[in-house]
Amino acid sequence: MNKFFYSYDDIHRAIAVLADKIRHSGQNFDLMLAIGGGGLIPARILRSFLNIPVYSVTLAYYDAEDRPTDCPHKVQWLDESMAAKLRGKRVLVVDEVDDSRVTLAYCLNELKATGIDQLGVAVLHEKQKTKQAELPPGLPYFSAITVGEDWIVYPWDATDIDAHNRDITAQQHERTTQ
């Protein structure tokens, strides 16, 4: 699978675009719920544009060897006092990538089951592919960038950010000389 490397600056610019789409939609949200890990940094950047608080849950679908597990599982979820705070609020669920949709759909279903049902979704990357789960019809949905099936390498996955940035430079060089 091809890889596509993104810098923090690319991410920030994409989130500015995402914020514009949300603002121009006329939809208003009271707060964001980031799906960690990947949704945490996008949600924090989005907060600079939308000025609404960020809450979070952590779900994991891929294991340590990057293989999908049977079902997403809750690493950290809302306790009852947090759920009570979110009921009746318009919640924008934020994640980095809409890939198979399994994690997103799982999260939305679990929120609904908790009585949190005024929901929207914002993702940085929307992969154009056959989805393995459906989002509720009519759900407000926003994505910054539509991409193919390449594996996206996010800067926060790097353990050596300088090597990551060198990969970006090499990628840009490859694309301009193609």
> Would you name the residues annotated as active-site residues?
99
Give the Å distances, CA to CA, from 2 to 16, 68, 148, 151, 176.
26, 19, 10, 6, 17
Asked if residue 151 binds ligand G4P (CB under 6 A), the reply is yes
Which of 33, 99, 122, 145 binds ligand G4P (CB under 6 A)? It is: 99
Measured from the Cβ of residue 54, the count of other Cβ atoms closer than 10 Å reads 17
Which of 14, 78, 98, 124 binds ligand G4P (CB under 6 A)? It is: 98
Terminal alpha carbon distance of the chain? 18
Q: Binding mask 36-75 vs ligand G4P (x if CB under 6 A, - otherwise)?
A: -xx--------------------xxxx-------------
Q: Which range binds Mg ion by CB under 5 A, 34-42, 111-119, 126-134, 157-165?
A: 34-42
Asked if residue 97 binds ligand G4P (CB under 6 A), the reply is yes
Asked if residue 102 binds ligand G4P (CB under 6 A), the reply is yes
Which of 15, 93, 111, 152 binds ligand G4P (CB under 6 A)? It is: 152
Integer Cα distance of 18 and 8 in angstroms: 15
What minimum distance in Å lies between the beta carbon of 102 and Mg ion?
A: 11
Strands 54-62 and 68-76: antiparallel
Integer Cα distance of 140 and 170 in angstroms: 37
Q: Which range binds ligand G4P by CB under 6 A, 6-14, 44-52, 82-90, 152-160?
A: 152-160
What minimum distance in Å lies between the beta carbon of 58 and Mg ion?
A: 9
Q: Looking at the DSSP assignment, which residues form a beta bridge with residue 152?
A: 4
DSSP annotation string for 27-79: ---SEEEEEETTTHHHHHHHHHHH---EEEEEEEEE-TTS-EEEEEEEEE---
Asked if residue 135 binds ligand G4P (CB under 6 A), the reply is no
